[in-house]
Amino acid sequence: MLSGDKLIGVLSVQSPRKNAFGSDDERLLSAFAKLSALAIAQVRADARMRDYVAEIQAVSEVARVATKLQLAPTIEAAVAAFQRITTSDSTALYLWDESRQRLQASALVYEPRFYPENYRQNVFGRELVLGEGMVGWAALHREPALIDDVAKDPRPTQVAGVSLESKAAIVIPLVADDRLLGVIRAVKMGAGTYTPDHYRLAKTLADQAVLTIAATRAFERAEKLALTDELTGLYNTRHFHARLDEETSRAVRHARSVVLLLLDADGLKLVNDQFGHLEGDRLLRHLATLLRRQARTSDVIARVGGDEFGIIQPETGVAGGLIAGDRIGSALRDEPFTTVGGEKPPTCVSIGVSGVPEHARTSADLYRLADAALYESKRAGKDRTTVATPVTPA
């Protein structure tokens, strides 16, 4: 593209007629060249302005949602803004679970035409350790990276069913006050398709995400003090049912899945009767510890009754809930409850599982069907997981 001055020069050389006052052709061509140069400058300025406005809008949208001080919507807004502003094909945000030393996907936006049907399930179903893949690398080294060709870089690892060929990636750790909060990563089809501006915008949005996630988590920590069960430290039943309403509505609205597990501590009455209520309390705390170890970062775990616990698993199908239930039962068998005196009274868990969309479309039905499946486990001999019977709509 010629600048205005160069364009004037070219057009002047091509002008055949001159006189003492300058030909009409030359004056017209000179004016045209100047207007062209102004138009080109304006287009470039408009493009920069559009980028600037888009950047401000993206940051403002994340900040607006963050004012509600709810972690899940804040993360979803951050990922959606990141996807849009970097023109990516897949963007995910992983949260760091300090107690379990794992990174777990908490939000994902992607172009379905570029990915297999089970892509979402594969992303959410895979936890990462520090150093694993480009996400784990960013978390371990706490450094951002722009990867022009993921197939030629040693850091990325393959998601099941998705090739690494011909893709670029951006990965940025989310760190606040030297504390790792998580990692955000984006992928785009075509090697070298991210520009320096994309990378700059990505880091700007990541900074905003750090602030909002840190603030939201601080608020949730304070709020959790009023929403937890005093004995086990798990969520209490009031918060559990509020989250069940929220997750069920989200799953139905966005055609996603959510699973509910209800667990009963079989053997609590025996422990209370033979060893006293202090040992019964220790049994409940033992179960709560096992549930935390087996749960994902995105799971909601609560004590919903005297000896009953509930687990909400977003973005999980019924098959995944059944696996989780069996894993919890195995964990209790591998690490049985032991009294202060060294006795190991017979204890186990009966579990019922129900899910959206397989069984229900409301939280009330989801809970009712999981509860029915729980009691079916107890009737069948306890120490097992039972999936609810699907209900045929009237």
Asked whether residue 48 carries a pLDDT value surpassing 80, the answer given is no
Reported as a pLDDT band with limits 50, 70 and 90, residue 8 is very low
Tokens read off for 337: 């409850």
Amino acid 24: pLDDT: 61
Number of other residues whose CB lies within 10 A of the CB of residue 23: 13
Amino acid 389: pLDDT: 87
Residue 149, CA atoms < 13 Å, CB-side half-sphere: 5
One-letter amino acid for residue 214 of the chain: A
pTM, two decimal places: 0.50
**Alpha-carbon separation of residue 150 from 115, 119, 134 (angstroms):** 16, 18, 9
First to last CA, the chain: 68
Tokens read off for 143: 């450094």
Strand order in the sheet with 102-110: 102-110, 90-97, 179-189, 167-176, 145-147
Task: Please list the residues that pair with 238 across neighbouring strands.
Answer: none
Averaged pLDDT for residues 156-182: 93
Averaged pLDDT for residues 96-119: 93
Burial pattern 234-261, b for ≥16 Cβ within 10 A else e, equals bbbeebbbebbebbbebbbeeebbbbbb
* CATH 3.30.70.270 is the classification of domain 237-387: yes
Asked whether residue 263 carries a pLDDT value surpassing 90, the answer given is yes
**Digit-coded pLDDT (tens) for 278-291:** 999 999 999 999 99
Collapsed DSSP state (helix, strand, coil) of residue 187 = strand
CATH superfamily of 67-219: GAF domain (3.30.450.40)
E strand or H helix that includes residue 228 = none
Domain ranges in the chain?
4-50, 67-219, 237-387
Asked whether residue 117 carries a pLDDT value surpassing 50, the answer given is yes
